[in-house]
Amino acid sequence: MGLGVGIVGLPNIGKSTTFNALTKAQNAQSENYPFCTIEPNKAVVPVPDERLKELAKIVNPERMQYSTVDFVDIAGLVKGASKGEGLGNQFLSNIREVEVILHMVRCFVDENVVHVEGDIDPIRDIEIIETELILADVEQLDKKIEKLIRQAKFDKSAKSVLEVAYELKEHLDELKPVSSFAKKEDEAFIELNKELRFLSGKTIIYGANVDEDSLLEDNELVKLVKDHAKEVGAEVITLCAKIEEELVGLEEDEAEEFLTELGVKESGLNKIIHTAFAKLNLISYFTAGVKEVRAWTITKGWKAPKSASVIHNDFEKGFIRAEVIGYDDFIANKGEHGAKEAGKMRLEGKDYEVQDGDVMHFRFNV
């Protein structure tokens, strides 16, 4: 699916270490994606899902395949990126292509790791990055307004878009992000956003990178980030990027033991992957056969025919019906046969909205 998460942040805040851990997670599963061409700055990361393992215990398949999330490493932005400082323009265009931003913020003190701004201040760092995103949006919007002024002379619809563009421009000039613009539901704004893909309007997850001592109890820097996130309606995930990179290199039972010793229930990387998946408005349904137990990624709210298309386009074109067993029913009745016997398999038609965890089999005719 063409949805992804862009990782942004100032240099030396743990962004690359986090991306390296995600890349290792990808490479550990690489045998499952034989036809996937992976770019140097992109990681196609499996979404950890215990349900697949439970299904596999019953079906005993040859292989398992997880849903995935695309993460894109946006090289460290600096103050002035919107004006082309560093390689700013290139990186800002990369962010434009993603749907969600993982904004990594340094929340640890280490004299051996130099901070580009000279000292540790996560709120200042957040403001630097988010100001650059706003300024990049202003630049894009200014160019669009020039075109709309010309179009509005002979096109009434362009006039209404121009009015909203002027309002948005005023909003951005006050260094307020697109995400807080009052008219986001307006058709004219939706049209603008579809074309310009405003950077400061994207969903943000903050990744607070801490040292090992702050994993169990938030330090003062993390508390500042969480207070800010609460104001803007964003989520914060606390992680230690160095530990995450070490964890990915371990066997599953070793990683669990390591986390237990640290007193942590779930790795920060897994939290990031799960949160990103949810923020992208994605869910998984399953197919369970002896060759493969697989999670298929769809957008929440998709109907059965559209959901079938991720397996093959012909499934949507020739859709007849879907045989559906809820995950809990599949497990409780020890598989498809038991679920059928218990009357837990349903036949659903074209209007059925697929639910997260549905175990499905599609009937089609082409």
Residues listed for the chain: 366
List the one residue out of 233, 251, 234, 255 whose CA is nearest residue 243.
Answer: 255
- Sole residue written with tokens 């103050």: 79
Cα(346)–Cα(323) distance, integer angstroms: 6
HSE value, Cβ hemisphere, 13 Å, CA-based, for 102 = 35
Helix 122-152 to helix 88-96 angle (10° resolution) is: 80
Query: What domains appear along the chain, each with residue ranges and CATH number?
Result: 4-48+67-117+202-279 (3.40.50.300), 133-201 (1.10.150.300), 301-364 (3.10.20.30)
Class of residue 173 by CB neighbours under 10 A (exposed 0-12, middle 13-18, buried 19+): exposed
* Two structure tokens written together for 94: 């990369």
Reading the block at residue 179, the tokens are 């995400």
Q: Distance between CA atoms of 140 and 328, rounded to whole angstroms?
A: 49
Its pTM stands at: 0.86
Q: In whole angstroms, what is the distance from residue 238 CA to residue 125 CA?
A: 16
Residues 6+ apart with CB under 8 A from 149: 162
Instruction: Write the CB contacts of 70 (distance below 8 Å, at least 6 apart in sequence).
Output: 3, 4, 5, 42, 43, 44, 45
Mean pLDDT of successive 10-residue segments in the chain (366 residues)? 78 84 67 41 89 96 94 70 51 80 92 73 93 90 95 88 96 95 93 93 95 90 96 94 87 89 90 94 96 96 96 92 97 97 97 97 89
Q: How confident is the model at residue 31, as a pLDDT?
A: 42
What would the two tokens of residue 86 be?
Answer: 């560093």
CA dist., res. 289 & res. 103, Å (int): 39
Q: Which two tokens stand for residue 183?
A: 């008219």
Question: What tokens does 239 get?
Answer: 């992680």
Tokens, residue 338:
């038991």
Q: How far is CA 286 from CA 14, 98, 213, 280, 292, in A?
A: 35, 26, 39, 19, 10
Sign of CA dihedral 86, 92, 93, 98: positive
User: At residue 42, what is the residue type?
Assistant: K
Q: Facing residues of 323 across strands?
A: 347, 361
Q: What is the torsion angle, in degrees rounded to the nearest 10, for the CA atoms of residue 307, residue 279, residue 19 and residue 109?
A: -170
Greatest CA separation found in the chain? 69
